[in-house]
Structure 1
Amino acid sequence: MDKPKRIEKTYNPMFEQTPISDLFFSDYLPGLDPLGVKIYVYCVYLSKLNQEYTEDAIAKTLGIDKSVLMEKLIELEAIGLMSVQGGIIAVCDINQKELNRFYRKITSIMPDDVEIEDLNENQARNQVVKLISDRFFGGMMPGSWYSEIELWFHQYGFSPDAMYMLFQHCQTNGVMTKPYIRKVAQEWAKRNIKSVQDVEEYLLRYEKFRELVRKITNKLRLGRNLTEYEEEIVAKWFYTYKYDFDIIEIALKKSTSRPKFSIRIFDAMITEWFKNGLNTVDMINVYEEERRKKYAQDKGRKTKPASYRDDVPQMRNYEERQYDDEFFENLYKRKETK
């Protein structure tokens, strides 16, 4: 009997290849800076060699500081390309990650069970997906987008036209990355947007919201855009409380004079109005006037704080000064005239 023989392949390591998934080029590369791409590709190469390397050695080879390398590894880990745990720098399997994201068990639906309406709807969806590919990706939409769009159809219930308008809206905003479009889709679903009419009504409201954000930013003279978390608070005032700028400005006038102010300070005041059922400028002005009078009465009953007495040394006296509404109002007016 012949003995089993092992089949081997002879090769020159100099001509080995390092495979990189197409998903990297379609879904990740557009959002990376050149240094991030450089580090990722080199780490993919090193992972194939199955050897140990120090961060210092990797940084030296790439001609960068170790601190820069570690910062970039954190960024790559945040978007799911790398994993840094203990003494291991792992390159994530983005193909498997994508497969896990969209895996669904096959149901036992027979063709005869499918209604004509469902067939027509599927045909309309396929047409709009092709239109999205042609219009926004030059007819070369990456394969991962097809399963993502299908997921949004089933999970969020978007109509075909609403799906197209989702991509159109993101292109208008100048951002066509998958994480951004996914976030907008989640926001639309949270607001129960499904049809063209829903989208049109939302976009009208959205333009008013953006205008509100611009007014608040200009009034506060921040010199920067609001952060994502600050915009979420402003969105609550606009969408949930249904407050316009005239109401929000009342809070700004009372708070912008503080040495340290933030959107959270305004939020505390505006939320109090909402909880008390105040929804007009007149109602809020009456409420604030009554509170001002009550504050003045309470203040009159109290003796002057020791921190303001002439016989108390002011050095190392850290008691916080109290400001009334009149002080805030005057300071706000002075800021507007500058």
Structure 2
Amino acid sequence: MTTLMLKQENYAFVPLSATFVDEYMPAARGEYVKVYIMLVRYMQTGEIGVTTSFLSDTLGLLETDVLKALEYWHQKGLISMKTIDAAGNLSIQLNSQIESKGPAVPSAKTETAQEYSDGMLMEIESMMGRPLSTREMDTFLSFKSEYSFPGEVVMLLVQHCLNRGVSDLRYMEKVAINWHSLGINTVALAQSNIRKHEDKWSNYRKVLTYLGMKEAEIMKPQEDLLDKWFNTYSFSTEMILKACDISFNNLGKGELKYIDAILRSWNEENIKTPEEVDSRKKPPKAKGKPGRKDTSDFTEREYDYSELEKKLLGRE
């Protein structure tokens, strides 16, 4: 439970500005509006403090919804909120000057767009489990205005990123740019792209997980390596993990450049199965004089590890 210390205001009525009613209230969730009006009311009556628990009981809301509402109005600039002690209690002050965002009375066309956008933003807030910041709202709305994405496509994009464990706004912007470049502007095209991506990355993730990497962390050159290993060389996941094991054994880490060189050499020698790798590593004993080394054997040359490391990493 959090106590809110309220700065008193001497009002004879519950003061709601025309700007709040015209511009802020239509875009806000109903429970957020209830919390704002109740705060104004308690400030008017001279209350010096009220708990989030009391507000939630009075308004029939969850206490977490009350806190979300406070954060929402703080981000919108309608209240000033700051933590005042280690217990997490807050000082709340109503900002009497509310900045107008446009015409005082929106047109019917603007209202329709506002309602549609609000529904989309509310769904995204539900997906993310928290109120959206002003920048996040502006960014998601820009996907519609700049890329002509319907609201459903924007929501699919956000859900797709969240399913991959990524909630970073910059990453979502990159996905939006990529979708736009591919001409993805309908729900059907978005769903098809997501299915293709999941089919492709299901194996990619196995390799990245094995290497201790996350999908969201890799850059385009690293993705290109994965494309080459799986598609150009047509190696199985098992073969790529085999190369990863060699890198771990020899270098103590999964070095992508080193793994790429191993796979390139296997591709050149047409080695396609782990059994073929193992057979090269364990050649039959050479015939001839005792102590003679069969230098023609591929594996002995390939798996002279100190030399391999120098050559494959360009350190000669």
Same-fold call, TM cutoff 0.5: no
Higher relative contact order (CA 8 A, sep 6+): 2
TM-score (norm 1): 0.40
Name the one with the larger helix percent: 1
TM-score (norm 2): 0.42
